Structures are given as C-alpha cells and as structure tokens.
Amino acid sequence: MSNARTARFSRRGLLATGGALGLGALVTACGSDSKDGGSDSTASAKASGPWTFKDDRGTTVKLDKAPANIVAFTGVAAALFDYGVSVKGVFGPTKTQDGKADVQAGDMDVSKVTVLGNTWDQFNVEKYATLAPDVLISTMFDDAGTLWYVPEASKEKIAKLAPSVGISVYDRQLTAPLQRMWELAESLGADMTAAKVTDAKKRFEEASARLRKAAKANPDLKVMAGSASQELFYVSGTNLSIDLEYFKALGVNFIEPPEKAKAEGGGWYESLSWENVDKYKADIIMMDDRSSTIQPADITEATWKKLPAVKAGQVIPRSPEPILSYDKCVPLVESLAEALETAKKVG
C-alpha cells in the first residue's frame, strides 16, 4: 500500500497507501460466545434459521436469518466471490483510474457492485445506508479490532447501521485467515464440496509442498519483499505479514530489516531513500503489486536499475493483501517457488 505521501498518514493509513505490508469500527452486534457460523442467500443458501458467526475479535454476530445484503472490503468480497457468495457493496481499491477492476477485486464484475469508496479514508455512509446492509465484513491488520478501510472519522456512524465481522490478517501465517474465510463462506451458504473449491485447496497444498522443496534446495538464495513510492522504498520484514510468515515457515530465506530500522513502520517495514536502495543484497525481489504502489516497470531510479536482482530479471510480484481464497493464493505460492527454482545467486 505505498505511495509518496508517507509523512501525512497514520501508521494505519500508511499501510494502506504504501510500503508497510510489503503491508476501527467496533461491532454493534450481539454477544461473544459461540464459534458457530451460519449461512447466506447469495450462493447456494442452505440455512433457513438464525445466522451466527464468531469473528476474530471474539465477537459473535447474530441475525434472525442469513444476511442477504452483504457489504465487504474489496479483497474480502473477491474471496467470497470465488466461493460463490456475492456482495451488494464494497469499499477499498475496486477500480483503477481507467475503470478496470483493481488487482484486489479479483474476478468480481466490479460493474455489478456498489462502490462506497475506492481509496483510503473514502466511505459513503449515506450510500451505505441505502443498501440496507445486514452485515459489514473486513479484514484487520492489528490486534485492536480495527476494521480495514473503515474510516476512523465515520466508524461510529457505520457501526450503527449494521453489525460487522472482522477476519484477522495480523501476525499469523496465511493458512489461518484462509481457513477463517473458508469458514465464513461456508456459513454464508457456499458449497465447499464443489470441485472448483476442493481442487483449489488441493492445488494450494501442492504449491506449498513445491515451495518448501524449492526453498530447501536453494537455501542460499535471499529474497527481499519491497514496495515502491516516489520518495521511498520499503523493505518488509516477515513478522506480521501473513504471506511472508507462511513463506518463511516453508523455509524461504528472507532479508530481515532489524527491528530498530522497522520502528518507524510500526514493525512492518524499513523505509529507505532511493539512494540507499542497495542496502540489502537480494537475489530475488518480491514487489508489491497493489495499484497504490509504483510497479517495477515504472521505476525510473538509477539505483533500482543497478540492483543485481533487477539486472538479472529476478523480480516477481507480491500481493501483500492476498485475496483469501485458495484459488487466488495458489499463484502467489507457485510464483515464488518457480523463482527459487530458476534464480541465480546474484546478491
């Protein structure tokens, strides 16, 4: 989520607009006891009775019936779409400037959803109310229950209109939120026995085994997770990020900025001037693929072009905010596995 405006953002805002991840509205729902899920009516609605779901804040949302009008952060909506659950409205990066689907929108037809806000701190509360939302769903990048892309200034108004569900993507491995999104989709009526769904999970497991094997065979290859803005280059540590924590657990040798260097980035990343972008010697560079960041082909800095990994063509995309369906996470794992299998030692 990176851009040149780092000095003007809170740490949460900075995570959204650049660098950090390489990276809240409180629920007005009932209770906080059970771990049960429920159902939806947008996929293959199975439930006819009450719907409940305990989220990662420990809050149980209870409704008289399955939510029909779902509003979600774009990446969450994209994951639910892969499982056959549609949403009515979205907020977060949905459309690029030319009107095409943002990378975080996945396979959704963005022309068929109501976009409440496309950028950071943008959320049309009045339009949200007209959707008669049954539930709002987002991810969380901290342990305080802050709902991602729900503006601080309007979170209380938003919370009064519908209960919310938060799925944590903070300081855990990718497989944990993948499982939680699976459980949420299932509770919303998705057919988790469908061949498309089970095949995707199998392919993810196979890709993970391939990555583990590639990492074991190439322990000396160093990987750096980066993100670019006009003014700064961000180097992410593996701690806190769900994808990097998982890849590290599979044996990938990541460059780790020291904790002191990551302090300014809230423990997520180290900020480097472009003059110092060669501080770390990487063999493979994973670059943030979000539309809020500068993509490798558009980086004009001479220091970047001189990096051994760049000169060797050993730069691959990274999705710091993975769409949490197995189908969308398979390519992320396979891409890194292939890079390790084919890269040369250049750092």
What pLDDT is stored for residue 264 in this prediction? 87
Q: What is the mean pLDDT of residues 174-203?
A: 98
What pLDDT is stored for residue 347 in this prediction? 83
Residue that has been written with the tokens 């305080």 in this structure: 144
**pLDDT of residue 125 exceeding 60:** yes
Residue that has been written with the tokens 């769903």 in this structure: 137
Q: Residue 266: left (phi > 0), alpha (psi -120 to 50), or beta? A: left
d(CA 51, CA 63): 5
Q: Residue 325: left (phi > 0), alpha (psi -120 to 50), or beta? A: beta
**pLDDT of residue 39 exceeding 70:** no
Q: What is the mean pLDDT of residues 317-338?
A: 98
Is residue 3 within 8 A of residue 31, CB to CB? The reply is no
What pLDDT is stored for residue 49 in this prediction? 79
What pLDDT is stored for residue 42 in this prediction? 44
State the chain's mean pLDDT as an integer: 89
What pLDDT is stored for residue 15 in this prediction? 60
What pLDDT is stored for residue 27 in this prediction? 29
What pLDDT is stored for residue 215 in this prediction? 98
21: confidence class by pLDDT, cuts 50, 70, 90: very low
Is residue 244 within 8 A of residue 22, CB to CB? The reply is yes
**pLDDT of residue 26 exceeding 60:** no
What pLDDT is stored for residue 154 in this prediction? 98
The per-residue DSSP string of 255-299 comes to ----HHHHGGGTTSEEEEEGGGTTSS--SEEEEE-STTS--GGG-
In our burial notation (b when 16+ CB lie closer than 10 A, e otherwise), range 48-78 reads eeebbbbbbbebbbbbebbbeebbbbbbbbb
Q: What is the mean pLDDT of residues 137-143?
A: 97
What pLDDT is stored for residue 12 in this prediction? 55
Q: Considering only CA atoms, which of 292, 331, 324 is closest in space to residue 20? A: 292
**pLDDT of residue 247 exceeding 70:** yes
d(CA 12, CA 23): 10
What pLDDT is stored for residue 34 in this prediction? 33
Is residue 282 within 8 A of residue 254, CB to CB? The reply is no
**Which strand (E) or helix (H) includes residue 14?**
helix 11-17
14: confidence class by pLDDT, cuts 50, 70, 90: low
What pLDDT is stored for residue 8 in this prediction? 31
241: confidence class by pLDDT, cuts 50, 70, 90: very high
Is residue 16 within 8 A of residue 149, CB to CB? The reply is yes
Q: How far apart are the first and last CA of the chain?
A: 26
Count how many residues are written for the chain.
Answer: 347
13: confidence class by pLDDT, cuts 50, 70, 90: low
Written as six digits, the tokens of 123 are 């959320």
